[in-house]
Amino acid sequence: MTGSVALSLFDRLAMIMDAVAPLLTEKDISEDAKAFFSLLSKFKAKTIKVFVVPRQQQQVSEQHKEYRFYTILLAEKLKASIHELASSLTVLGRVTKVLNKSESINLISEYLGGAHLPDNVMQELVDELASNPDAAEFLGGTPSLDDILVKYPSVAITPIAIYR
């Protein structure tokens, strides 16, 4: 499949934090935020969660854009910089799960080792991020619940290779 690859919300956040963390002073960031980003940093070092939207999907109706693929990459298998992922690439992988209407994958749980966060807490987290005027610019779009919840009709794949 050839399509556009996008990092998940938290991987984008973690990448931004990597870039800006050295520039922050103690006053710029709260202890809670530091702990949260430190946790993100720990997990993102091992895996990178990405969405892939097939190339021609981007030309069809808005309704069809929800048909996207979700995959977890092992950081050690990356052959290029993580920045290279955010572009149009070809993915060869195996379909591992086609989500039913009642199923969803919570990306925060993936980060937190399976811990479950209630939907309203996740929504609050997203709202908090979305209320920051700089967030959309930094993240390449206004964050939404779809950024952290993989749901029907998404398809999970195990990647073998991503190339251009």
Q: Which residues bind another protein (CB under 8 A)?
A: 1-2, 54-57, 60, 64, 67-68, 73-74, 77-80, 84-85, 89-93, 95, 97-98, 100, 153, 155, 157-164
Q: Which is nearer to another protein, 121 or 160 (CB)?
A: 160
Find all residues with CB under 8 Å of 27, minimum gap 6, and list them: none
Q: Which is nearer to another protein, 93 or 149 (CB)?
A: 93
Distance CA 78, CA 82 (A): 8
CB 158 within 8 A of CB 70: no
Q: Which is nearer to another protein, 36 or 152 (CB)?
A: 152
Cβ at position 51, least distance to another protein in Å: 12
Count CB atoms within 10 A of the CB of residue 139.
19
Cβ at position 79, least distance to another protein in Å: 5
Copy the structure tokens of residue 99. 């989500």
Q: Which is nearer to another protein, 25 or 81 (CB)?
A: 81
Cβ at position 160, least distance to another protein in Å: 5
CA angle 124, 107, 160 (to 5 degrees): 155
Cβ at position 125, least distance to another protein in Å: 28
Q: How deeply is 11 buried, as exposed, middle or buried, from its count of CB atoms within 10 A (0-12, 13-18, 19+)?
A: buried
